[in-house]
Amino acid sequence: MLSVGQWPNKPFAWLLLFLGCSGLLGAALYFQMVLNLEPCVKCVYQRMAVVGIGLSAIVGLFGSGLWLTRWAALVGWLYSSYQGLLIAYDHWDLQTSKNAFFAVCESAPNFPDWAPLHEWMPGLFAAPGLCGDIDWQWLGLGMPGWMTVIFAGLLLIGIIVTICHIISSFTKKDGLVLYHK
């Protein structure tokens, strides 16, 4: 299990994480552009969490040999996965709520004033859909349900990798190793 602790030192592991995020974003765009399923605000926020994980993977990919970038990538992965899990679970809960009156969300994403992504790239970040609509299901779960499972899996894997990385760093005979070749 300690070999899992070496994953953050390997660019290939970060590349796999990046490719997984790219696949998720590709699937989101397929659902939006080809199947004409309009994303809602919570969908866009989940998309941003996947982008955060992907950006963390890029940091890890190019900086896996430096302890600071490796830890920044791990923290970004964990934070984005956690935020994505919270948003996806809230969205799933909203869709499965018995009271349809509460199955609404904001009309536009709440991005910072200095980065209004929904205005700069409306094809990717505009949110014309409604949060309560269940337009797609697979094996009994809608999109928010599957994203909850995916974010929970990514968070669990991130926690395991981080814990194993800490353990493997302290079990080296030199103590805490800050740089790996």
In a domain? residue 179 = no
In a domain? residue 175 = no
For 102-150, the pLDDT digits (tens) are 666 777 677 777 777 777 777 777 777 776 677 876 887 788 888 999 9
Reply yes or no on whether 164 is catalytic: no
From 21, 70, 105, 164, active-site residue: 105
Q: How confident is the model at residue 174 (pLDDT cuts 50, 70, 90)?
A: very low
In a domain? residue 36 = yes
Q: Which of 91, 77, 92, 89 is nearest to 156 (CA)?
A: 77
| Distance of alpha carbon 154 from alpha carbon 78, whole angstroms | 8
Reply yes or no on whether 47 is catalytic: yes
Reply yes or no on whether 21 is catalytic: no
Full DSSP string of 73-122: HHHHHHHHHHHHHHHHHHHHHHHH-S-GGG----SS----TT--HHHH-H
Predicted pLDDT at 103: 62
For 9-64, the pLDDT digits (tens) are 777 888 999 999 999 999 998 988 898 888 888 888 899 999 999 999 999 889 87
In a domain? residue 181 = no
Structural domains counted in the chain = 1
In a domain? residue 140 = yes
Kindly report the CATH number assigned to the domain that includes residue 46: 1.20.1550.10
| Domain assignment of residue 71, given as a range | 2-109+118-170
In a domain? residue 163 = yes
Predicted pLDDT at 64: 76
Mean pLDDT of the region 155-168? 86
Predicted pLDDT at 26: 93
* 50 phi/psi in degrees, rounded to 5: -65, -40
Q: Is the pLDDT of residue 160 over 80?
A: yes
In a domain? residue 66 = yes
